[in-house]
Chain A
């Protein structure tokens, strides 16, 4: 399936958001995730079914003032 993760095109077999996150994000990292600019709460990742061309945005905390 064709997906876009932070604007990068990727081909992944996984169809559940939770599995995609597990593949691309280190397990200890706390992130926030949006699919097509809709925030998906962590509790719903495992049942969120992805479609072809979905755009996934993954956010992390960084230093800032």
Chain B
């Protein structure tokens, strides 16, 4: 079954970001190869002197859904302002809320995030909150109307993978809204592991953007996410402490002695 968020059906369970690519051409090639049909953008005050590289046009030509984020917001008030500006600039009521006042670890502020999500839902936004892998917070966000939750695997851009795995498992078990593992996914195997565990999707940016071959890496992530989801739907076996033979034991050899 396809992933649906707020009535929108996605063909891919891989969401992408547009940051950190060496060139716009690489970004487009990588996103295209990944099969992703939603990608994130940020908003900044325009530099009137240097002009801009107009990132929108090639993304619109690609036909992907655009997901503005509130990166740079330090509290709920700033995030709401950023969401409303993005709504104007991109003509979308979708927003990824990210509020991380600390630049070293970029840890999301749970209290400000909850406040912002509650307010934005009331304003009619489809809100995708970037949060710590906190099962309690996920339930609170669900209660105020978040259409999905986006818990982190590990710090943004750290490539550390699913360091939060035990808590992601709890979130996945309890959630009534889609769970999208965001941040820290550094390799396709991490993405596959998230999908295998039952995450509904992943969001990948750095791992694709900083690869030596971003286009090929985009394709690798596409396969990983598809494989992970297929494995989840097929039902993976339980982990065991002891060995369990996959072949019948060769009883006849005993007869040799």
Using a CB–CB distance below 8 Å, which chain A residues touch chain B?
5-6, 8, 24-26, 28-34, 37, 39, 41-42, 57-65
Contacts and interface: CB of A to CB of B under 8 A. Distances in A.
B84 A64 contact: no
Given A58-B46, A62-B44, A63-B41, 13 more contacts: A5-B48, A26-B51, A28-B57, A29-B46, A34-B85, A59-B45, A60-B44, A60-B52, A61-B68, A61-B86, A62-B42, A64-B40, A65-B205
A63 B89 contact: no
Contacts of A34: 85
Contacts of B86: 32, 61
A62 B89 contact: no
B156 interface: yes
A64 B17 contact: yes
Contact of A39 (B17, B42, B45, B85): B85
14 contacts: A6-B47, A26-B52, A28-B57, A30-B91, A58-B46, A59-B45, A60-B52, A61-B66, A63-B55, A64-B40, A65-B17, A65-B156, A65-B203, A65-B206
Contact of B43 (A24, A41, A62): A62
Q: How many residues of B sit at the interface, in one of the four size bands?
A: 35 or more
Interface in B1-40: 17-21, 27, 40
Q: Which of B17, B48, B84 counts the most A-chain CB atoms under 10 A from its CB?
A: B48
Contacts of A24: 48
Contacts of A8: 48
B84 A39 contact: yes
A5 B116 CA distance: 28
A18 to B, nearest CB: 14
B52 A64 contact: no
B88 interface: yes
Given A39-B88, A41-B88, A65-B205, A59 B156 contact: no
B48 to A, nearest CB: 6
Contact of B89 (A37, A60, A64, A65): A60
Given A58-B46, A59-B43, A59-B44, A65 B69 contact: yes
Contacts of B46: 6, 25, 29, 31, 58-60
A30 B57 CA distance: 10
Contacts of A39: 81, 84-85, 88
